[in-house]
Amino acid sequence: MTDLTTPIANGADPERPSGSRATPVGSLPLTLRARRPGYAVMQECLRIQSSVPSRTSAQRFWGSDPVIPAARSWFKGAVGERRVAAELERLGPAFTVLHAVPVGTGSTDIDHLVIGPSGVFSINTKNHSGQRVFVGGGSFMVGGKKTSHIGAAQSEGRKATRLLSAAAGGQIEVEPLLVVAADQIRFGKKRPPVVVLTPEQVRPWISGRARAHSDEAVRYLSMLAEDRGTWHAAAVVLDDTLRLEQRFDRLVREVEGARLRRRRVALAVFLGVVGVPVAGLIALSSVAASLLGG
């Protein structure tokens, strides 16, 4: 069990991570706690969406999907990250959970980073809802097609281990996890080199692990992890996460509204085909819509 009652690095200040900048008097420290889950993918989704005009009245009437094809994978990814984040937030105050942690020099990020008594974990989230997944040894297949998910998760774990260890001045292992949403996950005979979990499994799996760090170590590592300079070459970047999340929430509501509209239209068409009178069609459509959540 790691016990960091004093900093690992010789001569390090326990109140400030190595290389961090002093906070000006009267200002609030900018930490990665401000980053919302799915920040990078929400940003890219909304950037692509902004390049097309709003839906026409006819498209709204028929419930056409407001998310254009080029942005769908980004939208789905953001929804998946937010779902996993909701599970992680239930870990409780003993754990620090960070989202969309930027690493390196570009726009690459770690979906979620968890620091707690049971260890430090980098989490790569994949939303393959509506599809079947097979995991065996180093193979991760979606709908029969090979992916690089396992290698990517391993790479994130190694990178996070290197960067956090450098900040702490001693070896801190970061265990990579793959959290996958899918209609079905089937495992082969060979165990994968990375733990693969569903969104519902991740919280009990992490909290159920044996203690690896003391409370003092968790506080110290959390302080280091919250500093953007620990992970990224650009130590301070102002991200308007709240406004971005509000815009994405608006898009989610539009998607849900369009989905409900399509169900209403499909029901109305069906009732019309089977010969329900117009008055009855309207009444039945209204009742059915309410039963479907409209």
| CA–CA separation, 63 and 60 (whole Å) | 5
Q: What pTM, to 2 d.p., does this model score?
A: 0.77
**Residue-number span of the structural domain to which 264 is assigned:** 240-294
If DSSP codes are grouped into helix, strand and coil, which group holds residue 76? helix
Task: Check whether residue 171 and residue 252 sit in a common domain.
Answer: no
pLDDT tens-digit map of 50-85: 988 888 888 888 888 889 999 999 999 999 999 999
CA–CA separation, 211 vs 214, rounded Å? 8
Over the stretch 91-117, which tens digit does the pLDDT of each residue have?
999 999 999 999 988 778 999 999 999
d(CA 114, CA 104): 19
Q: In this structure, what token pair is assigned to residue 61?
A: 């009437």
255 and 213 part of one domain:
no
Phi, psi (deg, nearest 5) at residue 130:
90, 0
Based on the fold, state whether residues 232 and 255 are members of the same structural domain. Answer: no
User: Domain check: are 198 and 280 in the same one?
Assistant: no
Least confident of 137-151, 158-172, 193-207, 279-293: 279-293
Strand partners, 142: 133, 145
Do 171 and 145 share a structural domain?
yes
Structure letter (DSSP) for residue 116 = E
Least confident range of 68-72, 75-79, 202-206, 283-287 = 283-287
Looking at 197, 218, 236, the residue that finishes a domain is 236
Burial label for 118, CB within 10 Å (0-12, 13-18, 19+), is buried
Q: Mean pLDDT in the chain?
A: 83
Domain boundary among 220, 236, 252: 236
- pLDDT, tens only, 26-42: 334 568 888 889 888 99
d(CA 4, CA 14): 10
Q: Which is more confident, 262 or 29?
A: 262
Distance CA 207, CA 195 (A): 15
Buried b (16+ CB within 10 A) or exposed e, 237-252: eebebeebbebbeebe
